Amino acid sequence: MNPTATLDTSNLTERIETEIAKLDFSHNPPQLYEPISYILSLGGKRIRPVLLLMACDMYGKSIEDAIPQALAIEIFHNFTLVHDDIMDQAPKRRNQLTVHTKWNENTGILSGDVMLVCAYQELCKSEDKYLAQLLKLFNKTAIEVCEGQQFDMNYETETNVSISEYLRMIELKTAVLLGCSLQTGSIIAGGSAKDQHNIYEFGRNIGIAFQLQDDLLDVFGDPAKFGKQIGGDIISNKKTYLCLKASEIGTTEQKTLLNKLFGSIETDNSEKIDIVTRIYNDLSIQHHTETEMASYYKSAISFLDKINVPEDRKLPLRTFANRLMIRDS
């Protein structure tokens, strides 16, 4: 296969959708398997499996050799969403009912458990020569994602969360799976240990920048494009980078007001969003967040630059990273 800098990520996304549609969950009892088909059918950006295939393609390896591993990553990701939605008591996911809302919490827990096993089934289709390495990476990442979710839940009730603690949480909850996806593609394609490290770090850093962008869009995004309610994090009293940075650099009066607003569930939501956003604007929080994002993006690109393949083969990943940083949804 001749790798090309014009690799079409939309074609990769379509390929993932096609492969997901081929998965057979028509087993008994249907109450266990139908929720799995349901959550996987809801779509999404499929960023993680696409990154895995892009990494594989970068070395000239056929993406056909990486389809099971890409499915494993996507099934695992959706398993975490099913369980996260239960913990968050979220009624909707991708504008559709969440699994536990459509069925019930017990079904969501059990169907999620089966999804985790299914992810391992796909991963175990790997060639013997790199199966052990893939399992080691996958296991490490799966544990870290769970650690990140626990930190996230801890921080809901903790009053003194530092920015460094928050960044570590989003690294574990979000970024490490992007790094894992890319390194998995590199392993399958025969990348060197050094290249595997560099592509993992590219994914980890771009993943943190991606989540910071998500935090920013929640407050300053276009609601028509963002697809979610603007100010949702403010309404739910979620500690994001924006909130923590404002608490760090704000005046005593601003900090007191923020603590009061983020400790309340009775304040009028529209008024609450307006007041918090005004404080963010007064403190140039958007600029501070964009500066932090740019730092992680710069680190990501520095690791991409170190990967030992011709520059034209890196261009799809470079373009993909750029698009993540200028997205509005």
Mean pLDDT confidence for 202-216: 96
- Supply the pLDDT for residue 2: 39
CATH code of residue 139: 1.10.600.10
Give domain status of residue 1, yes or no: no
Planar angle of CA 75, 205, 255, nearest 5 degrees: 105
CA 246 to the chain's CA centroid: 24
138-174 exposure pattern, b = at least 16 Cβ within 10 A, e = fewer: beebbebbeebbebbeebeeeeebeeeebbbbbbbbb
207 in Cβ contact with 297 (< 8 Å) = no
Q: How many structural domains is the chain composed of? A: 1
- Supply the pLDDT for residue 55: 97
Pick from 99, 8, 111, 23: nearest CA to 67: 23
Treating both helix axes as pointing N-terminal to C-terminal, what angle do 128-157 and 105-123 enclose, rounded to 10 degrees? 150
85 in Cβ contact with 98 (< 8 Å) = yes
Pick from 125, 167, 126, 121: nearest CA to 148: 167
More confident residue, 158 or 187: 187
Tokens representing 223 are: 């609601």
Give domain status of residue 245, yes or no: yes
- Supply the pLDDT for residue 264: 78
Cα(289)–Cα(74) distance, integer angstroms: 29
- Supply the pLDDT for residue 225: 62
Q: What does 75-130 look like in DSSP terms, one character per residue?
A: HHHHHHHHHHHHHHT-SEETTEE-HHHHS-HHHHHHHHHHHHHHHHHHHTTS-HHH
Mean pLDDT confidence for 132-150: 98
Mean pLDDT confidence for 14-38: 96
- Supply the pLDDT for residue 3: 39
Give domain status of residue 59, yes or no: yes
More confident residue, 329 or 88: 88
Rounded to two decimals, the pTM is 0.93
Give domain status of residue 286, yes or no: yes
Give domain status of residue 2, yes or no: no
Give domain status of residue 68, yes or no: yes
Give domain status of residue 123, yes or no: yes
pLDDT in tens, 225-267: 655 667 888 988 889 999 999 999 999 999 999 999 988 776 6
Query: What is the percentage of the chain residues whose pLDDT exceeds 70?
Result: 94
Tokens representing 277 are: 């956003």
C-alpha torsion sign, points 133, 82, 208, 255? negative
Cα(187)–Cα(130) distance, integer angstroms: 7
- Residue 63's domain comprises 9-325
Mean pLDDT confidence for 280-303: 97
pLDDT of 40 > 90? The answer is yes
Mean pLDDT confidence for 133-159: 95
Mean pLDDT confidence for 297-321: 96
Neighbouring-strand partners of residue 93: 96
72 in Cβ contact with 43 (< 8 Å) = no
- Supply the pLDDT for residue 4: 41
167 in Cβ contact with 239 (< 8 Å) = no
Cα(201)–Cα(178) distance, integer angstroms: 9
pLDDT of 327 > 80? The answer is no
Max mean pLDDT range (172-176, 230-234, 319-323, 324-328): 172-176
- Supply the pLDDT for residue 157: 85
Mean pLDDT of the chain: 92
Give domain status of residue 4, yes or no: no
pLDDT of 1 > 50? The answer is no
pLDDT of 32 > 50? The answer is yes
Coil, helix or strand for 146? helix
